[in-house]
Structure 1
Amino acid sequence: MTSLKIGLVDLDTSHPGSFVPIVREMGHHVTGVFDSGTIYPPGYASTFAREHGIAHACETIEELVERVDAVFIHSCDWDLHVQHARPFIEAGKAVFIDKPLAGNARDLQQLIDWGKDGSILTGGSALRYCNEVKEWRERGIGTEEWVYGLVGCAVDEFNYGIHAYSMLHGLMGAGIESARYVGETTQQQFELAWKDGRRAMVSIGKTSGYLPFYASITTQKQVEFIKADNNRLYQAILENVLPYMAGEAPSPISLDELAEAEMAAIAAKMSAERDGALIRIQDIPLSEVGYNGGLFAQQYKAMKFPVSR
């Protein structure tokens, strides 16, 4: 097994600290970190490195590039993902981009292009790879059995909402063609359609309490409810992506297929803004703003560090 020297870019969320022990258990080394200061004050990278036994807190991304074989990008401002990934891609390093991959079609297309050019690049939501989705798919229920599905979660429409899109994508596979806003009952509901005619709904948005990641699946022969075990999510995604990042396995999913979840979410947002018009993924213009990562980062920081009045 190839042992990777792994770096971390941006320490905004709980994911970097949660990933480190799993990465180590799988035989890899976390050798450096860099934080751009979106959420935490200057010096936090050194604190994080000390607390997690990481040798180097780098002052620049370029310094980190020289120290690692692979990088995990955890910026909560998804508009920084392409910018942060670029120097690693250009240096031929393996790159993982945490969810959401990006919030606009232009950035997603750049990731897809890098993938087509042979870069080792992956990422996204752990719900795409969760054990419950894998187990359901391995049971081999064919597309001819499909009737309808509903997948949902709480908290917000994109940073968390992307988990619902990704879980549905994991269950039904690639081929999302369009999204359509159908209404709102506390949460927003969107119907996604696949190229082969299958359809399913995503229900996302803030609720008064936390909801699990769930799916209700109806086929011609059964109805099934699936609830993801949060305690196993990070292990599942790392088991899928690290062998690929180490050059020991093929990509678990191509970038153009992986980006379908984010593209579907952007199409859904456009549909809501256009009174429920059906929006085809292929028709989303590269100039479409989609979801604003900088604005989300401001809100996330305010929530994490509320100002006393």
Structure 2
Amino acid sequence: MKRLRIGLIDLDTSHPGNWLPIIRELGHEVVGVFDGGTVFPNGYAEQFALEKGISNVYQTVAEMVEDVDVAIVHSCNWDLHIDRAAPFIAAGKGVLIDKPLAGNPRHLRTLLEWERQGARITGGSSLRFCQETVQWKMNHTASGISYVTAGCGVDEFNYGIHAYAMLAGIMGPGIEGVRHLGESGQRHVEIVWRDGRRGLVAVGAVEGSLPFYATVVTGQDVSHFQADSRYLYRALLEASLPYLAGADAAAVPLEELVEAEYAAIAAAVSKRQGGTYVRLAELAEDEAGYDGSAFSSGYRKLRLGIV
């Protein structure tokens, strides 16, 4: 695999700093950063680049395009992901979009259309690639699953998407529909596969801190595991960068990756409709999902300690 020149887009979260040493250990170079100011004030990108030994700070996304092979979009406002990715897609560059990939069906369909036209796009939750799921699948088949419960804490989408992705990683593709079941401490959502298998995600705020976890029931045994967060970022990057470099096929096709986001959006619709069963295929393109601008406003206050 060739050495990739990578650009980081938006420095809102802890991910850019935490992913950087892994990217370098894997033999690639981060050549520059751009920050749109969603969370941090002017000057933060320059400070970040100086501290991390990154050569270039770009004032616009367009300035970065010709200097990179791959862009990693880290915007905490997921409603910006399409606009951030578009110039790189147009230039034939690979794009990795941090979780959640998008918060509404229209943006998800745009990503899928880009891929159909030949673009290399991947990303989403690192829980889709966690080593615990990989190890479990070495000794089991998804077709033998009776039921799975997956969950985590913090919130319903920005963090909750990890639970949906972990469930999808265990069960495999083919989600048909979703039903909001109610709340008991956390929000509970049932997800149904086209072959009749079912799973449950538990998401939302809790008083303490919950790990990423799953309990898998098959016809032969019951397995419970928690994802080791120390290895999640490496798992995602090791799975994604060879594909973006053109050296390998996608570890998980984008059509399968987006099922997690589609399921979460369908869960939001089901909740608004009082718990009706919502099929992913019937989600309208303009269906309201999760508001990235509203989330990023609250996230900024949290990151900066604003009361």
TM bucket normalised to smaller: over 0.9
Q: Which residue of 1 aligns with 2:129?
A: 129
Length, aligned pairs only: 307
User: How far apart are 1:140 and its partner, in Å?
Assistant: 3.2
The verdict on how the C-alpha distance between 1:178 and 1:85 changes in structure 2, with shifts beyond 3 A counting, is same
User: How far apart are 1:189 and its partner, in Å?
Assistant: 0.2
Q: Deviations over 1:140-177 (max 9, x none)?
A: 3341x221110000000000000000000000000000
User: How far apart are 1:114 and its partner, in Å?
Assistant: 0.7
Q: Which residue of 2 aligns with 1:63?
A: 63
Q: Which residue of 2 aligns with 1:148?
A: 147
Q: Which residue of 2 aligns with 1:279?
A: 278
User: How far apart are 1:117 and its partner, in Å?
Assistant: 1.0
Instruction: Establish whether residue 190 from structure 1 lines up as the match of residue 192 from structure 2.
Output: no
Q: Which residue of 2 aligns with 1:79?
A: 79
Tell whether the 8 Å contact from 2:7 to 2:64 is kept in structure 1 after alignment.
yes
User: How far apart are 1:6 and its partner, in Å?
Assistant: 0.3
Distance 1:241 1:283 in 2: 30
Q: Which residue of 2 aligns with 1:89?
A: 89
Tell whether the 8 Å contact from 2:145 to 2:171 is kept in structure 1 after alignment.
no
The verdict on how the C-alpha distance between 1:142 and 1:180 changes in structure 2, with shifts beyond 3 A counting, is closer
What SS does structure 1 have at the residue aligned with 2:141?
A: coil
Tell whether the 8 Å contact from 1:115 to 1:254 is kept in structure 2 after alignment.
no
Q: Which amino acid aligns with 1:158?
A: F
The verdict on how the C-alpha distance between 1:288 and 1:44 changes in structure 2, with shifts beyond 3 A counting, is same
Distance 2:86 2:306 in 1: 34
Q: Which residue of 1 aligns with 2:11?
A: 11
Q: Which amino acid aligns with 1:5?
A: R
Q: Which amino acid aligns with 2:2?
A: T
Q: Which residue of 2 aligns with 1:26?
A: 26
TM-score by length of 2: 0.99
TM-score by length of 1: 0.98
Q: Which amino acid aligns with 2:69?
A: D
What SS does structure 1 have at the residue aligned with 2:300?
A: helix
Distance 2:284 2:155 in 1: 24
What SS does structure 2 have at the residue aligned with 1:267?
A: helix
Distance 2:7 2:73 in 1: 9
Q: Which residue of 1 aligns with 2:170?
A: 171
Q: Which residue of 2 aligns with 1:251?
A: 250
- Which structure 2 residue ranges, 5 or more long, are not aligned? none
Q: CA RMSD in A?
A: 0.8
Tell whether the 8 Å contact from 1:49 to 1:55 is kept in structure 2 after alignment.
yes
Q: 1:219-234 maps to which residues of 2 (within 5 A)?
A: 219-234=218-233
Distance 1:259 1:289 in 2: 16
Distance 1:49 1:211 in 2: 33
Percent of paired sites with the same residue: 50
Q: Which residue of 1 aligns with 2:49?
A: 49
Q: Which amino acid aligns with 1:76?
A: C
Distance 2:76 2:141 in 1: 36
What SS does structure 1 have at the residue aligned with 2:118?
A: coil
User: How far apart are 1:183 and its partner, in Å?
Assistant: 1.3
The verdict on how the C-alpha distance between 1:91 and 1:211 changes in structure 2, with shifts beyond 3 A counting, is same
User: How far apart are 1:307 and its partner, in Å?
Assistant: 3.0
Distance 1:201 1:33 in 2: 38
Q: Deviations over 1:208-250 (max 9, x none)?
A: 0010000011111101101000000011111100111111100
Tell whether the 8 Å contact from 1:156 to 1:204 is kept in structure 2 after alignment.
yes
What SS does structure 1 have at the residue aligned with 2:239?
A: helix
The 4+ residue runs of structure 1 with deviation greater than 4 A are none
Q: Which amino acid aligns with 2:251?
A: P
Instruction: Establish whether residue 261 from structure 1 lines up as the match of residue 255 from structure 2.
Output: no
What SS does structure 2 have at the residue aligned with 1:259?
A: helix
- Which structure 1 residue ranges, 5 or more long, are not aligned? none
Q: Which amino acid aligns with 1:257?
A: E
Distance 2:26 2:13 in 1: 22
